[in-house]
Amino acid sequence: MTDYWRNIGFFICVLSIFPLVCFCATFVPVDNYLIDCGATASTSVGTRNFIADNNKDLLSTQEDILATTSLKSVTSSSDDLPLYQTARVFTGSSKYTFKIKQKGRHWIRLYFFPSTYEKYNLSAADFTVSTQNHVLFRSLNMQKDPVMKEYSVNVTSDTLVLTFTPSGNSTAFVNAIEVVSVPDDLIVDDGFALDPSVTSSGLVTQALETVWRVNMGGPTLTPINDTLQRTWVPDQSFLLEPNLASNFSNIKGVKYENRGQATENTAPPTVYGTLTQMNSSNDPRSIFNVTWQFDVSPGFQYLVRLHFCDVVSKALNVLIFNAYVDSKLAASSADPSTTSNNALGVPYYRDLVTAVAVSKTLRVGIGPSDLNKDYPNAILNGLEIMKMNNSMGNLIPGAGSVAITSGSSSKKTGMIVGVSVGVVGAVVLAGLFFVLCRKRRRLVQRQSKTWVPLSINDGTTSHTMGSKYSNGTTLSAASNFEYRVPFVAVQEATNNFDESWVIGIGGFGKVYKGELSDGTKVAVKRGNPRSQQGLAEFRTEIEMLSQFRHRHLVSLIGYCDERNEMILIYEYMEKGTLKGHLYGSGLPSLSWKERLEICIGSARGLHYLHTGYAKAVIHRDVKSANILLDENLMAKVADFGLSKTGPEIDQTHVSTAVKGSFGYLDPEYFRRQQLTEKSDVYSFGVVLFEVLCARPVIDPTLPREMVNLAEWALKWQKKGQLEQIIDQTLAGKIRPDSLRKFGETAEKCLADYGVDRPSMGDVLWNLEYALQLQEAVVQGDPEENSTNMIGELSPQVNNFNQDASASVTQFAGSGLDDLSGVSMSRVFSQLVKSEGR
């Protein structure tokens, strides 16, 4: 009792200190563009005025197409309805350019009504919307109702350019656009990581998409009720068990304090003053959780903001509870009265960063803490779920390739997309270059006793040991001088190209194992004597490899072009090829988890090749012999060295004989000789089955129906009995769900037509999911948590491993590498940059 009154006393005291603080200062956005697209005059919505987009400085588009539609079929009656009446239609890539007066975070709100507009049926329009740095939106599977998509991005340049890009022959459209400044403190840099693997800082630079914004226990709020013109929806429909929850409202109890973290811009009083709490009406002592479930798209991280404000308690320290996001503790024994400076009614929020979502739903729960068994209760006032851009900077899956494939419709579109993707690429490359320079610098320091790269301006001298190595010739066009290595150093490292140190031979030349004087092991690829063609390829290789830096791609350490040599030096991969670990070499067999991790690593490397650069790069020879493992069994894709730049040279590739390795070859590429990233996806599908079954992809010693692994495994996969043919050493060790996911993924990769195959990004996601299923960390789906293992195998199909003497036939150009066991030959090879298709 005494405590209670003391707290009340404090409460009254707090009230008397702060009653005059006024929080009515409204935020005035510096940049405030409200555009009613396709309109001929302004349109007012609530208190805001949207102007027509008939200004040439604002919009650049090929054709001026305004369209109108009828809103009769629309049932909703929101204020913004008039905005959906007119649309701007684009037949080619088009841009809105907004001048930005104050850099920083801005809302981008896009309004779409996919309907019929006079002669345009836009209900199936397929297009993307991007800024200079992020792909924000793709119009797939849109509902037929008007929809507003809200994004917030950090603008760092003087203009914000929104590019609308139709795919193929489709059209793009938009009904209205807002570009509006956001207060700087709305998104702060640091959140709490929900998983140890997550980096939770750097939020300020993230592009965010508002996926859900919910007012717990309260009404819908429209832009007019919110200082930042946001929309909040009620929470009832998201509750898993609505009867366990009850609403509470005390809007007058909300006290924004200037020393508090949350302001009226964080969320309006109607959000903080209403809440959902535990419904303990039957038994006040009962302990349970209140849980909401939201649809999200997997493959992205989410920023989850939980809003709390204790307007329900009558005293301090009685409401102590936990909050969960996807079963992970998001707030532990939270006590809003202490968190908010020992006062009731002071709003605050908590930002949480999730790991990459693997499930299509995200759950948020609240429940009492163990510290408070006497009066169990828990509250939540508001919730925002924001999708974070992926590592490509995008908010839609696989955007790199989406934008590129759209180039087919018109040259101009392709070019503009190319440019916008190029900007993203350039940013990525700039980052890579930075990392690379740092890495090189470290390397150079470490190896200064061994060799010294030649100086940038003069290829014939070097800084300290120049005189010793000054007899080199110059390759003036090669751009990455930092990588140059003197010939004598290469000689030293390879014991003067000792034939017994050869670890592989390919069309381009020999690969030697080498060791620098500091003990660093390297693989040294020495090209055959120079030809014009070879020289061009050598240069391109250096350029490409120094740009393509990724932990899952084998990396370039240096090159040597002295004395007409063409030598490339790569990191040495201790554990050799993936193939060597699967069969035929007597190495100990890998566990399922190790295999999944290797597949995931290589998928990452390939995904990066496909999407990490302005143009997709196609590997063309994906196979287990080209996936190398370091001492920790981390997978790196090798043999990605050769790419083409000019269109003339690309022409030669059209006529080049089909390259690749028999058994892995995409049948569509074989038929049409047209390369796409999906050819790599096909080959990767074969690798997946190879990893699962641990047998050669072509084994002529087997009965006919078993010779080709892809065909044979697909047959069992389609029967749903893949477990019959798996590597016997895995028997009983794979969880059925993990195997199912893995089998389905491999099957999709092997679809006859490239268009039906998943992107490498999708493959990656599915493999990660298969790993999660194996480790049974996927929550909320009891079916997935089965602990049954695949039973012992029927002996019938498992004898082939013994016959696996690996007599692999290959197509021209594939060389001897498959026969040489742990080789990493052909580090140069058949890689081309794909032209916009």
Asked if 288 interacts with ligand NAG (CB under 6 A), we say yes
Q: According to CB under 6 A, which residues from 338 to 367 bind ligand NAG?
A: 365, 367
Which of 115, 175, 206, 708: binder of ligand NAG (CB under 6 A)? 206
Sheet with 556-560: list strands edge to edge: 502-506, 509-515, 521-527, 567-571, 556-560
Q: How far is the CB of 519 from ligand NAG (least distance, A)?
A: 34
Asked if 164 interacts with ligand NAG (CB under 6 A), we say no
End-to-end CA distance of the chain: 77
Which of these, 812, 832, 825, 509, lies nearest to 639 by C-alpha position?
825
Which of 11, 107, 324, 682: binder of ligand NAG (CB under 6 A)? 324
Pairing between β-strand 556-560 and β-strand 627-629 as defined by DSSP bridges: unpaired
Q: According to CB under 6 A, which residues from 476 to 505 bind ligand NAG?
A: none
Nearer to ligand NAG, 327 or 729 (CB): 327
The answer on whether 149 is annotated among ligand-binding residues is no
**E strand or H helix at 3, and its extent?**
helix 2-17
Which amino acid appears at position 118 of this protein? Answer: E
Asked if 327 interacts with ligand NAG (CB under 6 A), we say yes
Nearer to ligand NAG, 91 or 133 (CB): 133
Distance (Å, rounded) from C-alpha 756 to C-alpha 666? 13
What is the DSSP secondary structure assignment for residue 422, as one 8-state letter?
Answer: H
Asked if 166 interacts with ligand NAG (CB under 6 A), we say no
Nearer to ligand NAG, 219 or 720 (CB): 219
Asked if 544 interacts with ligand NAG (CB under 6 A), we say no
Residue 684 contacts residue 757 (beta carbons within 8 Å): no
Dihedral sign for Cα 537, 538, 544, 549, please: positive
Dihedral sign for Cα 410, 413, 419, 420, please: negative
Distance (Å, rounded) from C-alpha 374 to C-alpha 361? 33
Asked if 297 interacts with ligand NAG (CB under 6 A), we say no
Asked if 289 interacts with ligand NAG (CB under 6 A), we say yes
Token readout for 220 is 């819908």
Binding mask 264-283 toward ligand NAG (x if CB under 6 A, else -) reads ------x-------------
Q: How far is the CB of 301 from ligand NAG (least distance, A)?
A: 5
Asked if 611 interacts with ligand NAG (CB under 6 A), we say no
Q: How far is the CB of 792 from ligand NAG (least distance, A)?
A: 35
Is 803 designated active site?
no
Residue 261 contacts residue 314 (beta carbons within 8 Å): no
Place of tokens 């998509």: 149
From the list 23-31, 216-224, 686-694, 704-712, the region that binds ligand NAG by CB under 6 A is 216-224
Distance (Å, rounded) from C-alpha 497 to C-alpha 326? 57
From the list 386-394, 624-632, 649-657, 709-717, the region that binds ligand NAG by CB under 6 A is 386-394
Q: How far is the CB of 560 from ligand NAG (least distance, A)?
A: 35
Is 682 in a helix, a strand, or coil?
A: helix
Asked if 333 interacts with ligand NAG (CB under 6 A), we say no
Nearer to ligand NAG, 65 or 148 (CB): 148
Q: How far is the CB of 633 from ligand NAG (least distance, A)?
A: 25
From the list 252-260, 285-293, 546-554, 748-756, the region that binds ligand NAG by CB under 6 A is 285-293
Distance (Å, rounded) from C-alpha 577 to C-alpha 487? 28
User: How far is residue 74 from each of residues 69, 219, 260, 788, 801, measured CA to CA in Å?
Assistant: 11, 22, 42, 50, 63
Residue 376 contacts residue 278 (beta carbons within 8 Å): yes
Residue 677 contacts residue 835 (beta carbons within 8 Å): no
Nearer to ligand NAG, 402 or 523 (CB): 402
Q: How far is the CB of 237 from ligand NAG (least distance, A)?
A: 18
Distance (Å, rounded) from C-alpha 460 to C-alpha 563? 12
Asked if 388 interacts with ligand NAG (CB under 6 A), we say yes
Q: How far is the CB of 435 from ligand NAG (least distance, A)?
A: 12
Q: According to CB under 6 A, which residues from 55 to 114 bind ligand NAG?
A: none
Asked if 287 interacts with ligand NAG (CB under 6 A), we say yes
Nearer to ligand NAG, 48 or 748 (CB): 48
Q: How far is the CB of 177 from ligand NAG (least distance, A)?
A: 21
Q: What is the DSSP secondary-structure string of 353-378? A: EPPPP-SSEEEEEEEE-TT--SS---
Distance (Å, rounded) from C-alpha 585 to C-alpha 805? 9
# chain residues binding ligand NAG, by CB under 6 A: 20
Binding mask 389-408 toward ligand NAG (x if CB under 6 A, else -) reads xxx-x---------------
Nearer to ligand NAG, 221 or 730 (CB): 221
Which of 132, 225, 413, 546: binder of ligand NAG (CB under 6 A)? 225
Number of H helices, E strands in the chain: 16, 38
Nearer to ligand NAG, 62 or 286 (CB): 286
Token readout for 352 is 């949480």
Distance (Å, rounded) from C-alpha 795 to C-alpha 182? 66
Distance (Å, rounded) from C-alpha 369 to C-alpha 349? 18
From the list 57-65, 158-166, 287-295, 377-385, the region that binds ligand NAG by CB under 6 A is 287-295
Token readout for 523 is 């693989």
Q: How far is the CB of 365 from ligand NAG (least distance, A)?
A: 5
Nearer to ligand NAG, 241 or 752 (CB): 241
Asked if 221 interacts with ligand NAG (CB under 6 A), we say yes
Q: How far is the CB of 95 from ligand NAG (least distance, A)?
A: 20
Token readout for 359 is 């499930």
Token readout for 393 is 């900077």
Dihedral sign for Cα 612, 575, 625, 542, please: positive
Distance (Å, rounded) from C-alpha 680 to C-alpha 713? 18
Rg of the chain on CA atoms, in Å: 31
From the list 80-88, 286-294, 574-582, 635-643, the region that binds ligand NAG by CB under 6 A is 286-294
From the list 13-21, 388-396, 438-446, 493-501, the region that binds ligand NAG by CB under 6 A is 388-396
Distance (Å, rounded) from C-alpha 612 to C-alpha 627? 19
Token readout for 745 is 């993924």
Nearer to ligand NAG, 132 or 679 (CB): 132
CB under 8 Å to 40, separation ≥6 — which residues?
52, 54, 66, 86
Angle at 777 between CA 771 and CA 779, to 5 degrees: 125
Phi, psi of 143 (to 5 degrees): -70, 165
Distance (Å, rounded) from C-alpha 183 to C-alpha 363? 29
Q: How far is the CB of 328 from ligand NAG (least distance, A)?
A: 8
Nearer to ligand NAG, 322 or 834 (CB): 322
Cα 75 to chain centroid distance, Å, stands at 37
Which of 9, 219, 284, 791: binder of ligand NAG (CB under 6 A)? 219
Per annotation, catalytic residue among 235, 335, 621, 699? 621
Q: How far is the CB of 390 from ligand NAG (least distance, A)?
A: 5
Nearer to ligand NAG, 205 or 410 (CB): 205
From the list 189-197, 385-393, 473-481, 716-724, the region that binds ligand NAG by CB under 6 A is 385-393
Token readout for 678 is 């999906």
Which of 265, 301, 540, 676: binder of ligand NAG (CB under 6 A)? 301
Distance (Å, rounded) from C-alpha 26 to C-alpha 542? 56
Binding mask 130-159 toward ligand NAG (x if CB under 6 A, else -) reads ---x--------------------------
Please enumerate, by residue number, every residue annotated as part of a binding site for ATP. Answer: 525
Catalytic residue IDs: 621
Residues that bind ligand NAG (CB under 6 A): 133, 206, 219, 221, 224-225, 270, 287-289, 301, 324, 327, 365, 367, 388-391, 393
Please enumerate, by residue number, every residue annotated as part of a binding site. Answer: 525
